[in-house]
Amino acid sequence: MPTLEDNKHFWGNEYGWPSLGEEWSADWGGSFMQWYGTILPRIAAYVPTGTILEIACGCGRWTQYLKNVCRHLIAVDLSPRCIEVCKRRFGDEARIEFHVNDGTSLRMVPEASVDLVFSFDSLVHADASVLTAYLSELPRILKRTGVAFIHHSNLGEYARLYASINKIPWLEKWLQMFKVLEQDLHGRDFSVDARRVETWAAKYGLTCISQEIIGTTKLWLDCLSTLVQQDSPLARPNRVLRNKAFVQEKANLKALSWLYGPNN
């Protein structure tokens, strides 16, 4: 799985960003449909708001929407190239500030200043060291009523299974050939899953209030974790949902984009 340096090199140097990240929303019919059909309904209870922190903003695929639901937006990314693209793209937006970080720290964010921490489709490529580093920062920067919405890997749920299969090369090829085993793990990391994120959150003074586990037709690859301060009025026992309908949700939005997409 990719390391922090691998991610920094790939997203900052190797990857061409042919459509500024829009290519990653093609299965939804574009970022417009993905934002309004998939993402916004999941964070609607927390926006509009005062200050949003976007972790791993890339070239601004979600920045373009987040800026409209807050008074102040802080966007960080480990790629200087991506931050330069964002500065050019949103240069006339006084409410946004951009920072290059080291991929793990948020030193540029003041204490108790953030209402919503947001990261979608980026930290799915992060390993345990990166996730725990960011989670350890959140209690410092979140307001007491603040919320973090983090999209991350759930591949750790299958770590033992894949470790066993990998010991038998012919078995792995056979399972892939007959489409029993997922061939493309989409750069997810085996050191992260929903349960570990919930445990790490508690260690650093946070509480998971919901975790939506999603994925492909074969694996629960990803998780959407919502976290708050342990003393937050929003704190409650965690609610975990394995959403079997997510793949169909994506397909429906792509179909609807023909009718309702902004370019149709």
The pLDDT value given to residue 150 = 98
pLDDT band of 180, cuts 50, 70, 90 = low
- Residue 182: its H or E element: none
The CB density around residue 46, as the number of other CB atoms within 10 Å, is: 20
Cα gap 91→94, rounded to integer Å? 8
Mean pLDDT is lowest, of 16-20, 24-28, 237-241, for 16-20
pLDDT tens for each residue of 112-131 = 999 999 999 999 999 999 99
| Domain 4-156+188-260 fold | Rossmann fold (3.40.50)
Contact 225, 150 (CB under 8 A): yes
pLDDT of residue 166: 73
Rounded-to-integer distance, Cα 188 and Cα 141, Å: 27
Tell me the per-residue pLDDT of 43-92, one tens digit each, with 9 for 90 and over.
999 999 999 999 999 999 999 999 999 999 999 999 999 999 999 999 88
> Sign of dihedral through CA atoms 231, 232, 233, 237?
negative
With a cut of 70, say whether residue 99 has pLDDT above it. yes
pLDDT recorded at residue 243: 97
Report if pTM > 0.85: yes
The type of residue at 201 is A
More confident residue, 179 or 42: 42
* pLDDT confidence of residue 9: 78
User: Tens digit of pLDDT for each residue in 196-209?
Assistant: 999 999 999 999 99
Sequence spans of domains, the chain: 4-156+188-260
For 59-69, write each residue's pLDDT tens digit: 999 999 999 99
Q: Residue 237 — left, alpha, or beta (φ > 0 → left; ψ -120 to 50 → alpha)? A: beta
Segment 23-30 long-range contacts (CB within 8 Å, at least 24 positions apart): 24/61, 24/121, 25/61, 27/250, 27/254, 28/250, 28/253, 28/254, 28/257, 29/253, 29/254, 29/255, 29/256, 29/257, 29/258, 29/261, 30/257, 30/261, 30/262, 30/263
Long-range CB contact pairs, 130-135, < 8 A, 24+: 130/4, 130/103, 130/104, 131/192, 131/197, 131/200, 132/200, 132/204, 133/104, 133/105, 134/55, 134/104, 134/106, 135/197, 135/200, 135/201, 135/204, 135/206, 135/227
